[in-house]
Chains A and B, each alone.
Chain A
Amino acid sequence: MIIELITMQQWSPYLAGAGIGILAWFTFLLSDKGLGCSTSYLKTCGMVESGLTRGRSREKLYYKEFIPSVDWQWMLVIGIIIGAFISSILSGTFRLGIVPETFGARFGFDPVIRFIIAFIGGVLMGLGARWARGCTSGHGISGNMQLSTASLVASVCFFAGGIGTALIIYSL
C-alpha cells in the first residue's frame, strides 16, 4: 500500500496539499519557520556577488537585512530539488526535457525561445518576490495558513498577474 503510494505517478492534489499542510506544522514546530523559497535565490545571488566583489557587496543595505549564507531555507530549496528527483525516479516519470508540451504547441519547440521567455519570467518573478516579501510558498501557502492580510493580497496579485499574462501570451 505504501509502496504503491510512493510509486504512483500522481496523487490527488488534495492529498498532496494536505501533506504540505502537515509539513508546515513541523516547520513551525521544529524550526520556528514557515515554508518559503525566494530568499534562498537572493542569498545565492548575494553569495556569488560577495565572491566576485571580495565581500564588498555585503555592504548593500538589503544584504544587511538578509545576510547571504547557507541557512535553513537555502537547504529547503536544495531539498525540493532532491525530493522531486526521488519522487519522479520512484514513479518512473523522471526525464530530461527543455520545452514543455503546452509551451511548444504555442511558441514552437525551439529551446532558445523557451529559455529566453523563462529567463525573463524568472527575473521578473525574483524581483517581484522580494518586492512583495514572499512567493507562492511564503505567502501562498505558509502566509495564508497564518491568516495574514499581506499574504492573501499577495496571492491574489500573483494569480491576477499570472492569469492576465498567460491569457495574453496564449491568445495573441
Chain B
Amino acid sequence: MNYKALHKKGTVQLLLGLLMGIIFGFLLQKGGVTEYDVIIGQLLLYDFTVLKVIFSAVLVGMVGLYILHHFDLITYHIIKGSVGATVIGGLIFGIGFGLLGYCPGTAAGALGQGWLDALFGGIIGLIIGTGIFAALYPRLLFILNYREFTKPTLYEWFRVKPCIFICFYAAGILVFFYLLEMAGL
C-alpha cells in the first residue's frame, strides 16, 4: 500500500484535513470541551474534563504512534523549544486562555455549536494576535532563541528507551485518572 504518495496529493490532503477536522470537532463537542463553562471549570480547578480529554488522547495517541513509528509507517514532527519561546509564549497563551475560556481548536468548535463570543471575541482576536506575532517576529528572534532545549524528547532527559518511558508515562496517566475519580472530580 503506497499511502505515503498520498502526502503529496494537494487536493486529497485538503479533503482529508476537512474530514479529520469534522471528526476532531465532533469529538471535542461530544467531550464537552467546546463549552466555556467546562474549560473555565478546569482553570478554576473544579471540573477536570479538559485534562481527562487531553490525557486520554495522549495515552492512546502515544502508544499508537510509537508502534506506527517502530514499523517505520510514520514520521514524528517534534516542535523545537526554548525558554524564550516555549515558556514566555506559553505563559502569554495561558493569560489569553484564562480570559477567553476557549483555545484555538475549541473556539472553532464552540462557534460550531452556536457560541458567538467564540467568533467575535475569540476567533477575530486569535487572527489579530497571530498577525501581531508575524509583525513582531524579526524583533523577537533573540528572545525566541534564548536557551534552546538541548534534548527535544522527554525520554532523553531520563536516558531511557522511548518504550520504557511510555510505560511509565502511561502508568502515571492512569494513576492520575484513578486519583481524579477517587476524589470525585
List A residues at the B interface (Cβ < 8 Å).
8, 10-11, 13-35, 37-42, 44-46, 48-49, 60-63, 66, 70-88, 91, 93-103, 111, 114-170
Contact = CB atoms under 8 A, between A and B. Distances in A.
Nearest to A46: B134
B29 A144 contact: no
Main secondary structure on B side of the interface with A? helix
A41 B127 contact: yes
- List of 7 A-B pairs having minimum Cβ-Cβ separation, nearest first: A161-B94, A79-B21, A122-B125, A126-B129, A118-B121, A150-B81, A165-B98
Interface of B: 3-4, 6-7, 13-37, 40-41, 43-45, 49-50, 52-62, 64-65, 68, 73-82, 85-101, 103-118, 120-135, 137-138, 140, 144, 149, 151-157, 162, 165-166, 169, 177
B62 to A, nearest CB: 4
Contact of B133 (A73, A130, A144): A130
Main secondary structure on A side of the interface with B? helix
A80 B112 contact: yes
Nearest to B104: A37
A62 B137 contact: yes
Given A88-B29, A163-B43, A146 B76 contact: yes
Contact of B58 (A66, A79, A85, A144): A144
